[in-house]
Amino acid sequence: MENAVCLHLLRNQYKVFVGKSDEKEIDFIAEKDGERIYIQVAYMLYDEAVIQREFGNLMNIPDQYPKMVVTMDEFSIGNYKGIKQIHLREFLSDIVKR
């Protein structure tokens, strides 16, 4: 999944970096035209611990650039504290509107 997300970003001319906030990893920081997107990738959000880990990494970032978690979950919690959860299929169909 991470490879698919990274390749999609690169094909859309984003510069892609792996980030770190304190001891927590941010899967992707994508930049293009002075804008930035933070992305976490998780197969499924199957329990509260996974939700806290994936969304928590992004919640600690103080800026207001878009943040999202890409999953394979058929259900969506939608927007969790300002962070959007989307299915991989939706992400790959286009870069999500900011």
pLDDT tens, residue by residue, 66-94: 999 999 998 777 788 889 999 999 999 97
Q: Is residue 98 part of a domain?
A: no
Domains identified in the chain, total number: 1
- Look at the pTM and tell me if it is higher than 0.75: yes
Q: Is residue 59 part of a domain?
A: yes
Q: Is residue 62 part of a domain?
A: yes
Q: Is residue 32 part of a domain?
A: yes
CATH for 19: 3.40.1350.10
Assign residue 13 a region: left if phi > 0, alpha if psi is -120 to 50, beta otherwise? left
Domain encompassing residue 10 = 2-93
Q: Is residue 47 part of a domain?
A: yes
pLDDT tens, residue by residue, 3-60: 999 999 999 999 999 987 677 789 999 999 999 999 999 999 988 888 888 998 899 8
Q: What is the CA 72 to chain-centroid distance, rounded?
A: 13
